């Protein structure tokens, strides 16, 4: 299994399924495409990543890429450019609902598939002290919406989740496992 990502979170989630994972990150332009719905945007970015590696795959390799975006009040919040923007994102998310979309692209030399998962998340009010501490300890510049559900801010800040928790971490494991079983007849890669 080739994971087109440098994300340790995505790798760990795939390894929990018992999959052997090789990382092959792809540097792609993550600029949003105008006019796409959030679900389409997430899938488009995942496909962009996957397309960089498909020509180099061996005949027995399958690659997975994913991209996560956060949408609050109709506005897309990607990865923050700096800590100032990260703080702005967290203040906007504080005390309300937002939606997390993860697009997943799966491909081999002969075929590709794409799907997405959507999860609603509500934060408690995030105090100035909590935000400052979080940004100081682990600046979330590599995370959509400026937070990780598995990080401090998620542990104490998330009040409610409707949908797949792992989607908020960056990979909709439940949806991926169902897709894998329906497409390949098994969930675990080594399963006969």
HEC sequence for 20-53: CCEECCCCCCCCCCCCCCHHHHHHHHHHHHHHHH
Query: What is the model's pLDDT at position 119?
Result: 98
Residue 36 pLDDT greater than 50, yes or no: yes
Domain ranges of the chain: 2-184
Is there a catalytic annotation at residue 67? yes
Which has the closest alpha carbon to 50: 19, 26, 72?
Answer: 26
Q: Does 134 have pLDDT greater than 90?
A: yes
pTM: 0.93
Tell me the CA distances in angstroms from 168 to 28, 102, 108, one per residue in order: 22, 8, 26
pLDDT tens profile 139-164: 899 999 999 999 999 999 999 999 99
Domain 2-184 has CATH 3.40.50.300: no
From the candidates 60, 67, 128, 151, give the one annotated as an active-site residue.
Answer: 67
Mean pLDDT of the chain: 93
Please report which helix (H) or strand (E) contains residue 115, including its range.
strand 112-123
- 172-191 pLDDT, tens digit each: 999 999 999 998 887 665 55
Query: Cα–Cα–Cα angle for 114, 7, 2, nearest 5°?
Result: 55
Predicted local distance difference test score (pLDDT) of residue 188: 62
């Amino acid at each position: 299994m080739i994971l087109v990502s440098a994300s340790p979170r995505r790798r760990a989630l795939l390894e929990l399924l018992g999959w052997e994972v090789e990382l092959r990150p792809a540097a792609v332009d993550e600029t949003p495409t105008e006019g796409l719905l959030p679900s389409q945007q997430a899938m488009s970015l995942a496909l962009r990543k996957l397309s960089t590696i498909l020509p180099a795959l061996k005949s027995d390799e399958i690659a997975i890429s994913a991209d996560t975006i956060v949408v609050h009040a109709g506005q897309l919040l990607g990865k923050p450019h700096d800590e100032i923007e990260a703080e702005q994102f967290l203040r906007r998310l504080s005390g309300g609902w937002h939606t997390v979309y993860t697009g997943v692209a799966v491909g081999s030399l002969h075929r590709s598939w794409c799907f997405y998962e959507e999860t609603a998340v509500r934060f408690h009010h995030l105090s100035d002290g909590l935000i400052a501490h979080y940004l100081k300890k682990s600046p979330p510049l590599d995370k959509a919406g400026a937070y990780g559900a598995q990080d401090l801010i998620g542990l104490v800040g998330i009040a409610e989740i409707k949908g797949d928790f792992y989607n908020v971490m960056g990979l909709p494991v439940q949806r991926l496992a169902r897709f894998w079983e329906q497409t390949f007849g098994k969930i675990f890669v080594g399963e006969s």
